[in-house]
Amino acid sequence: MGSLDGKVAIVTGAGRGLGRAHALLLAQEGAKVIVNDLGGEWDGTGTDDRPAQQVVDEIKAAGGEAAANYDSCSDWKGAEGLVQQAIDTFGDLNILINNAGILRDKMSFNMDEADWDGVINVHLKGHFAPSHFAAKYWRDKAKAGDQPYARIVNTASEAGLYGNAGQANYGAAKAGIAALTIVLGRELQRYGVTVNAISPRARTRMTETTFGDAFTQKGDFDMFAPDNVSPLVVWLCTEDAADVSGQNFVVFGGRIYTMGGWHVVDQIDKGAAWTVEELSAQKGTLFKTKGSGVPPFDLG
C-alpha cells in the first residue's frame, strides 16, 4: 500500500532529472502519472519524445500506471490538453507537480529579448497555465459538491530568493513562482487545494551548465542526487500534508529548510512626509540591522 494509492498526478518536465525522480516516486507510492516532457535541450531548443516515454516505460515495468504527454506546458492549449489527458486517461486529477524549466544565462547587458521571453515563458507561464486549468477543474468539482483531493507543488529556486548574477530571467521567473505559490494557496484554500513550492539543489542538466562539477558526489552520500528531493515533493501530496500550504522549502541532501518571505527588518516613521535631507540623516536607523540576508548556496 502506498501513500498515494489511486491518486492521479501530472509531472511537467518529467523526462529527466528532478521531474523523472518525482514521477518515479509518485508511481512507487501508488499514483497514476502523466509524464509530461517536450524533450528539449536544457536551453529549450528542440523536441524529443523519448525521455517522457522512457519514464513511462520504467513506471510500467515496475508495475505502475503512466502515460506520456509531449506538449509544452507553457502553451495555453497544451496545458489545457495536459490536464484533460489526466482526467480522460485515469478519471481524475489530484496532483500537479510543476517542474519544467530551461536556462539561458547571460548578464543583463548581454541578454536579448528571446533569452528573456523564453525563460519567463517556460518557467512562469509554464507553472501558471497547468495550474489554471487544474484549479478550474478542482473549483468546478468543489462547487458541484464533490470535494477534490488536490495538491500543487511548484519548483522555485534560491536564484529567485536571493538572486544570482547572470540569471535575471531565471531569477525573476523563480521569484514569480514563489509569489505565485502564495497567491494560489490563498485563492484555492476554500476548495481544499494545497499549493507549495520547493527550491531544490540537485544535479541536473541545468545545474551542470551553471555550476559545472560543483554538484558532483564527493562522499558516500550523494548529497545532490535528484532522488533526495522527491520525498518532500511526494510527502506534500499526501493526506498528512493536507494542512501545509503556501510554503517554500529549500531542499537538498538530507536537509530541508522552511523559508520565510519578505519581512520588515528596520523602520522609521516621522508621521509626515520625509524630505530628502531628513532621509539622509536617518540612513543609519533605516539600515541598522546587519546580516539579515543569506547569500545563495550558503546555508551551512
Q: How far apart are CA 58 and CA 70, in angstroms?
A: 17
Query: 115: which 3 cell numbers?
Result: 533569452
Q: How far apart are CA 178 and CA 148, in angstroms?
A: 24
At a CB cut-off of 8 Å and minimum separation 6, what does 250 contact? 158, 161, 198, 199, 200, 201, 256, 257, 259, 299
Sign of CA dihedral 173, 159, 119, 21: negative
Lowest average pLDDT, out of 16-25, 81-90, 258-267, 282-291, goes to: 282-291
Please tell me which residue, 263 or 273, carries the higher pLDDT value. Answer: 273
- Domain assignment of residue 279, yes or no: no
Q: What is the pTM of this model?
A: 0.89
Percent of the chain with pLDDT over 90: 81
Task: Determine phi and psi for 297, rounding to 5 degrees.
Answer: 60, 35
- Domain assignment of residue 118, yes or no: yes
Which of helix, strand or coil describes residue 11?
Answer: strand
- Domain assignment of residue 242, yes or no: yes
What is the helix (H) or strand (E) element at residue 225, kind and residue range? none
- Domain assignment of residue 286, yes or no: no
Q: How far apart are CA 208 and CA 9, in angstroms?
A: 28
Nearest in space to 194 (alpha carbons), one of 152, 139, 138: 152
Q: What is the mean pLDDT of the chain?
A: 91
The catalytic site residues sit at: 157, 170, 174
Whether pLDDT at 263 is above 90: no
- Looking at residue 295, its pLDDT comes to 45
- Looking at residue 214, its pLDDT comes to 58
Nearest in space to 127 (alpha carbons), one of 93, 158, 159, 101: 101
Per-residue pLDDT band at 221 (split at 50, 70, 90): confident
- Domain assignment of residue 26, yes or no: yes
Boundaries of domain holding 30? 8-259
- Looking at residue 166, its pLDDT comes to 93
Per-residue pLDDT band at 290 (split at 50, 70, 90): low
Mean pLDDT of 237-249: 97
The answer to whether the beta carbons of residues 196 and 154 sit under 8 Å apart is yes
- Looking at residue 292, its pLDDT comes to 44
Whether pLDDT at 257 is above 70: yes
Output DSSP code: residue 91. Answer: S
- Looking at residue 293, its pLDDT comes to 46
**CATH code for the domain in which residue 141 is found:** 3.40.50.720
Whether pLDDT at 298 is above 50: no
- Looking at residue 299, its pLDDT comes to 42
Output DSSP code: residue 111. Answer: -
- Domain assignment of residue 297, yes or no: no
- Looking at residue 33, its pLDDT comes to 98
Q: How far apart are CA 201 and CA 77, in angstroms?
A: 31
Per-residue pLDDT band at 89 (split at 50, 70, 90): very high
Output DSSP code: residue 36. Answer: E
- Looking at residue 204, its pLDDT comes to 63
Q: pLDDT tens, 174-216?
A: 999 999 999 999 999 999 999 999 999 988 655 555 555 656 7
Sign of CA dihedral 231, 29, 59, 76: negative
Whether pLDDT at 291 is above 60: no
Per-residue pLDDT band at 149 (split at 50, 70, 90): very high
Place of cell 502564495: 182
- Domain assignment of residue 250, yes or no: yes
How many Cα neighbours within 13 Å face the side chain of 33? 35
Number of folded domains in the chain?
A: 1
Task: Determine phi and psi for 194, rounding to 5 degrees.
Answer: -100, 145
Output DSSP code: residue 200. Answer: E
Percent of the chain with pLDDT over 70: 90
- Looking at residue 206, its pLDDT comes to 58
- Domain assignment of residue 195, yes or no: yes
Whether pLDDT at 133 is above 60: yes
- Looking at residue 211, its pLDDT comes to 53
- Looking at residue 215, its pLDDT comes to 63
